[in-house]
Amino acid sequence: MPGLCVSGNSQVIDKLCAGLMALILGLVACTPAVAADAEATAKPAKKTAAAPKVAAAEAIVLRSDHATAHVLADLIKQYQASKLGKVELQPFSTISGLDAVHSGTADLAGTARAAMPNREEEQGTNFYPVAWYAMVPIVDADNPVSNISLKQLHDLYLGRLTNWKDLGGADAEIGIDGVAPPLDGVEYSTRLLLFHYGDQAVSVPRLYVNVDKLEEDIALNAHGVGLSTLSNAAHNPKVKMLSVEGVRASAQTIADGSYPLYGVMYVAARDDGKQHDAVAKFVEYISGDSAKTILRKHDVVPYADAAALIDKQTEHTAFIDAHIRPLATSTETPVSAPNATAQALQAIAPTSELTAEAKARAERAKVEKEGAKTAAKDTGH
């Protein structure tokens, strides 16, 4: 076999070498193409540009006192379930809600009172009525007292009535609870009815951050009393609601005006709010028929269902005054009644003909009273 490498076979070797060289050159020539094909195969397909994302609708911020928040919560739940919009409910206090709307940090406020006249932070804010509600005095569930008169309630809050025995109860000191944040909706509305001033100073030694905490204390305090709402207290078995002037609070006695301590819950907003259109949509919804069923479940009366109460404002105020100040109201119609009516209507329906009429009646009552005083002075009586 070694003989194959001898010079006699050089031509065969040359041919073999030439063929081998051609094969090597061919492989080298093919390498870039193979690499290119591999690169093309490995390269991912070019992505199609994604469609621009649509921004989600911004939620309305609704800051409310706790009494109103309990009523609004289910309305908001149904509103969102119906895909009508988003509402972020922030239960806090009346003042925080109204001031947040004024400053623009909230879009809506929930409040158990009307606007306070001449309070700067509430100027330029619209108050939209939602429902009529009852303010109720509450005591511990085992307290034997079941009724309180308007005069007794008036004197209780002025510190003139201090013992339960004067109300038919035990010989024990009465402990009065209140809500600490100033101008709270329930407290303000009750004082407006009893004293004609929502910010009337009263004798309330124990204060709580909201009506929920107040109810918790009353349930643990055998000698306590405080103010809540029918919509809250009716679902709390640990407290008992007192009748007022022998009338028990209910949807029926609110609607017919026979229960004396009734008022209006509102949502409040500004026309220049950044979410004006979304707010208007929500306000329209809670004023509509689909919201009424939910409102009734919370022991409040949809505002439109008891519109006749608007016409009874003067009668309402005069009734309360007659029970609290019988001597002062027996011979004349108090100017305070027409004034209270005009103020209430101004807050509820500022452009209504009823409001204009109420203002005119208040002015006439004022002129008549001043005339009577002048005549009495001239005659020496």
C-alpha–C-alpha distance, residues 327 and 330, integer Å: 5
Task: Report the alpha-carbon distance of residue 102 to residue 105 in Å, rounded.
Answer: 8
pLDDT at 149: 98
- Phi first, then psi, for residue 154 (nearest 5°) are -60, -50
SS3 content of the chain, % helix, strand, coil (to 5): 50, 20, 30
Length of the chain: 381
Handedness of CA 226, 92, 232, 341 (dihedral sign): positive
What pLDDT is attached to residue 327?
75
Taking CA atoms, 101 is separated from 111, 123, 199, 210, 260, in Å, by: 12, 11, 21, 20, 31
Cα(70)–Cα(298) distance, integer angstroms: 8
Looking at residue 230, its pLDDT comes to 98
pLDDT of residue 340: 58
Q: For residue 64, what is the enclosing H or E element? A: strand 60-65
Whole-angstrom distance, CA of residue 261 vs CA of residue 118: 24
Give the whole-angstrom CA distance, residue 101 versus residue 122.
9
| Burial environment of residue 252 by CB neighbours within 10 A (0 to 12, 13 to 18, 19 or more) | exposed
Tell the burial category of 235 from Cβ atoms under 10 Å away from its Cβ (0-12, 13-18, 19+): exposed
Q: Are 239 and 229 contacting, i.e. CB atoms less than 8 angstroms apart? A: no
Q: What DSSP string describes 236-290? A: -TTEEEPEETTB---HHHHHTS-SS-EEEEEEEEETT-TTHHHHHHHHHHHTSHH
Strands 175-179 and 206-208: parallel
The one-digit pLDDT tens for each residue of the chain (381 residues) are 444 333 444 443 445 444 544 444 444 444 444 444 444 444 555 555 555 554 456 899 999 999 999 999 999 999 999 999 999 999 999 999 999 999 999 999 999 999 999 999 999 999 999 999 999 999 999 999 999 999 999 999 999 999 999 999 999 999 999 999 999 999 999 999 999 999 999 999 999 999 999 999 999 999 999 999 999 999 999 999 999 999 999 999 999 999 999 999 999 999 999 999 999 999 999 999 999 999 999 999 999 999 999 999 999 999 999 999 987 655 444 455 556 556 555 655 555 555 666 666 666 666 555 655 554 455 454
Q: What is the pLDDT of residue 341?
A: 59
The pLDDT value recorded for residue 226 is: 98
Architecture of domain 133-255: 3-Layer(aba) Sandwich (3.40)
φ and ψ of 183, to 5 deg? 60, 35
pTM reported for the whole predicted model? 0.75
- β partners of residue 126: 269
- With 0-12 / 13-18 / 19 or more C-beta atoms within 10 angstroms meaning exposed / middle / buried, residue 31 is exposed
- Residue 296 contacts residue 122 (beta carbons within 8 Å): no
| Cβ-based neighbour number of residue 134 at 10 Å | 27
Q: How far apart are CA 259 and CA 281, in angstroms?
A: 33
Residue 185, pLDDT score: 97
* pLDDT at residue 53, rounded to an integer: 54
- The structure tokens 């038919």 sit at 168
Domain limits of the chain? 60-131+264-306, 133-255, 310-376
User: Helix, strand, or coil here: 236?
Assistant: coil
Q: How far is CA 339 from the centre of its chain?
A: 27
60-131+264-306 with 133-255: one CATH topology? yes
**pLDDT the model gives residue 164:** 98
Q: Decide the pairing of beta strands 147-148 and 239-241.
A: unpaired
Which residues does residue 264 pair with via DSSP β-bridges, in sequence order? 132
pLDDT at residue number 10: 45
- Which residue reads 């509102």 in tokens? 266
Tell me, rounded to whole angstroms, the distance of Cα 209 from its chain centroid.
16
- What's the rounded Cα separation, in Å, for the pair 28 and 8? 32
Say which CATH superfamily domain 60-131+264-306 falls into.
Periplasmic binding protein-like II (3.40.190.10)
Check residue 239 and give its pLDDT: 98
Taking the C-alpha atoms of residue 157 and residue 159, their distance in angstroms, rounded to an integer, is: 5
Q: What is the pLDDT of residue 339?
A: 62
pLDDT at 344: 57
